[in-house]
């Protein structure tokens, strides 16, 4: 297991929270909650080690599109970048922003 953390500065406030997915084979669990300040904090626990760069590019792209001030927590069990992006989109949909 590897733990990864990122921070982004953000502009969009959110009011709801969202939970999608399962930390099961090839999938991941995402929890999103509003953050207190205009910062986004992401913590990832993943079963696949050595892919910090991949996660970084996924979140660079995600925050380019959704600049939300959120605390994002991820429990990953080997999801592919495609699945990760899909789950993130699903989680954002629940936020209704």
Partner 1 sequence: MMVNIPIKDSFIELSARERVNSILDPGTFREVLGPFDRMESPHLSIQGIVPQSDDGVVVGRGLIEGESAVVIAIEGDFQGGGIGEVSGAKIAGALELVLRDHENGVCTRPVMILETGGVRLQEGNYGLLAIAEIGAAIVALRPYTPVVGIIAGMIGCFGGMSICAGLCSHIIMTRQGRLELNGPEVIEQEAGILEFDSSNRQMIWEIAGGEQRYATGFADKLVDDDIKAINSAVIDVFSEGIPTQYRSSSVDRYLSFLSQIDPTKPLNPRMIKEIWENKQEDIKTIGESFHHFKEQQVESKGALSRGRVWIEALSGQSQSIITATSSVICVDSMINNERVRYISVVPSENNRFPRARQGEVGLDEGWAIAYFVQEAIREDKADDRRAIVAIVDVPSQAYGYREELLGINLACAAAADAYASARLAGHPVISLIVGNAISGAFLAHGLQANRLIALDAPDVTVQVMSKESASRITRRSIKEIEETAKKIPATAYDIQSFFQLGALTELVQGINADAPDKKDIQHVLEKVQSLIIEVRSSKRDLSNRLQSAEAGRYRFASIRVRELLAAQWN
List residues near partner 1 by CB under 8 A. Answer: 1, 17, 19, 22-25, 27, 29, 31, 33, 45-47, 73, 75-77
CB of 12 to partner 1, least distance (A): 21
Nearer to partner 1, 6 or 77 (CB): 77
CB of 66 to partner 1, least distance (A): 20
Contact 78, 24 (CB under 8 A): no
Nearer to partner 1, 12 or 71 (CB): 71
DSSP assignment string, the chain: -EEEEEEEE--B-----EEE--SSTT-EEEEEEE-SSSEEEEEEEESS-S-HHHHHHHHHHHHHH--B-EEEEEEESS--HHHHHHHHHHHHHHHT-
Axis-axis angle for helices 81-95, 52-65 (nearest 10): 30
CB of 36 to partner 1, least distance (A): 16
Nearer to partner 1, 41 or 73 (CB): 73
CB of 44 to partner 1, least distance (A): 10
């Amino acid at each position: 297991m590897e733990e990864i953390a990122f921070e982004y500065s953000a502009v969009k406030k959110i009011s709801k929270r969202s939970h999608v997915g399962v930390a099961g084979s090839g999938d991941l669990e995402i929890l999103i909650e509003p953050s207190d300040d205009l910062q986004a904090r992401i913590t990832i626990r993943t079963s696949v080690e050595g892919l910090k760069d991949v996660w970084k590019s996924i979140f660079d792209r995600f925050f380019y599109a959704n600049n939300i001030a959120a605390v994002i927590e991820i429990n990953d069990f080997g999801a592919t970048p495609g699945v990760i992006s899909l789950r993130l989109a699903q989680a954002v949909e629940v936020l209704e922003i």
